Amino acid sequence: MKAALGTRRLFFLSKIMFAQKINLFHLLVYSFSLFLSCKNNAPQPKEIRAANGVLLRKYVEINGKIEGRFEEYYADGQLEIERFFIHGNEHGRTVIYYPDGKVKEVQEYDMGKKINGDTIFYHNGNPKFTSWFVNDKKEGLFRRYDSLGNIELDVMYKDDRVENVLQGSKE
């Protein structure tokens, strides 16, 4: 009787183990096919090229809206502008470069609206203009510099309107 009980348990255990192996096999096959389908359905970057084949623009579009990194290039292929988008709205830091790769301008956006500081640089790396934005409107100090970094002009903005103009000092 005990031997028959042991044989039955062994039989049921082997059936369970076999079923688990089949389920594991199906799980692996399903996972692999899901991986392949996701990989194939992943949005591919769009590339716009000049007639000579040089890349001019690269971005990803999902449901008709730009998503993620958006790059624009000079005619020689050097990166000109690097922007980031969420649901078609510019978001995060935008960097504009001179043709030799040095930074020309840095901006920040929050869902399509310019925020925080915006700085334009001379080719030598010194700031040319600095300004501040709140909700896409100039707010606070706008400053203009000469190429040596000396302040030429200060202008105070409130709600995108000039509030006060101050002449800067040259040192």
Same domain for 91 and 27, yes or no, is no
CATH code: domain of residue 86: 3.90.930.1
How many distinct structural domains can be found in the chain? 2
Same domain for 162 and 148, yes or no, is yes
Cα 25–chain centre separation = 39
Q: What's residue 168's pLDDT?
A: 63
pLDDT bracket for residue 166 (50, 70, 90): confident
First-to-final CA distance of the chain: 106
Same domain for 73 and 148, yes or no, is yes
Same domain for 20 and 85, yes or no, is no
Same domain for 81 and 114, yes or no, is yes
Weakest-pLDDT range from 32-36, 101-105, 123-127, 146-150 = 32-36
Three-class DSSP category at 69: strand
Q: What's residue 170's pLDDT?
A: 47
- Residue 85 has a CB neighbour count (10 Å cut-off) of 22
Same domain for 98 and 147, yes or no, is yes
Q: What's residue 103's pLDDT?
A: 98
Domain that holds residue 69: 46-167
